[in-house]
Amino acid sequence: MSVLVGQGLHKTFGVTPALRGVDIAVAAGEVLAVMGPSGAGKSTLLHCLAGILQPDSGEVIFEGRPVNRMPDRERSRLRRSVFGYVFQFGQLVPELRVLENIALPLLLAGKGRRAALAAAEQWLPRLGLQDVGQRLAGEVSGGQGQRAAIARALIAGPRVVFADEPTGSLDSVAADEVMELLVTAAKTEGAGVVVVTHEARVAAYADRQVTVRDGRIVLPASMSRAS
Ligand code: ADP
């Protein structure tokens, strides 16, 4: 059963076609890697699926409901609590502590500070962050920052996590660690993951891979992750 479907997605920036008719589906709890060279349209596809960008035509359907036709308020709710995001540089708030960054989605959803921080605290050991929870986010390593971004993406119990080159700024050891933790934590929470990457090493963590080239999916290759 697909949790998220993109149908006939087209998106053009000025005269540059970024998506030229993409059909894609993510099953509940599935980790899907979107591969392809730079400029292929991977980020545009991710942003369309995530409700951040409106496609020119085509439909994004979440749990059977078209996202493009939802009222703004509902689409915001989707973006805030049903979807989670991990970007290349984590985009943590550097002046806040790691723990506070992880708690942010709950605070924004109106949860009390004490309860939100207590919930964030639970995530620290799961991501090997128990020693850095009180540090300012701007002062931790790239790998630690990305692990905090994963906790922040998952804390509100999303159905789908969107990760855009989540290991793009990390060395290969930290990248492996981050992918392992992202996949394990998402699977434990029952969240699907769409991960955009141009690295086969990162895509190998996915249950399935698709390749985008010139705005189209060219190689829907099925693959099982070796465990
Ligand atoms: P990828 O993530 O695979 O590197 P993108 O989705 O970022 O590819 O880009 C696909 C194409 O769309 C590229 O030609 C890129 O230059 C163009 N593009 C993406 N975003 C914008 C934008 N905001 N404005 C103009 N062109 C864009």
pLDDT of residue 226: 42
Closest CA to 186 of 203, 163, 204: 163
Sequence-distant (≥ 6) Cβ neighbours of residue 122 within 8 angstroms? none
53 lines ligand 1 (CB under 6 A): no
pLDDT digits (tens, 9 = 90+) for 137-147: 999 999 999 99
Distance from residue 196's CA to the centre of ligand 1 (Å): 13
- The answer to whether residues 27 and 34 touch, using CB atoms and an 8 Å cutoff, is no
| Residues 199, 2: Cα–Cα separation, whole Å | 25
Residue with the smallest CA separation from ligand 1 atom 11 is 18
Q: Model confidence at 69, in pLDDT bands (50, 70, 90)?
A: confident
Distance from residue 34's CA to the centre of ligand 1 (Å): 15
Name the more confident of 81 and 12: 12
- The answer to whether residues 48 and 11 touch, using CB atoms and an 8 Å cutoff, is yes
Residue 44 CA, closest ligand 1 atom number: 6
Q: If phi over 0 gives left and psi between -120 and 50 gives alpha, with beta otherwise, what is residue 157?
A: left
13 lines ligand 1 (CB under 6 A): yes
User: Domain 2-222: which CATH class?
Assistant: alpha beta
197 lines ligand 1 (CB under 6 A): no
Distance from residue 217's CA to the centre of ligand 1 (Å): 15
Indicate the domain borders of the chain: 2-222
20 lines ligand 1 (CB under 6 A): no
Phi first, then psi: give them for residue 115, nearest 5 degrees.
Answer: -65, -40
18 lines ligand 1 (CB under 6 A): yes
pLDDT of residue 227: 37
Tell which one of 44, 45, 198 to mutate to probe ligand 1, the residue whose CB is within 8 A of the most ligand atoms.
44
pLDDT of residue 81: 81
| Residues 173, 167: Cα–Cα separation, whole Å | 10
CA distances from 227 to 30, 80, 101, 125, 204 (A): 15, 32, 32, 23, 11
- The answer to whether residues 124 and 133 touch, using CB atoms and an 8 Å cutoff, is yes
Average pLDDT over residues 172-197: 93
39 lines ligand 1 (CB under 6 A): yes
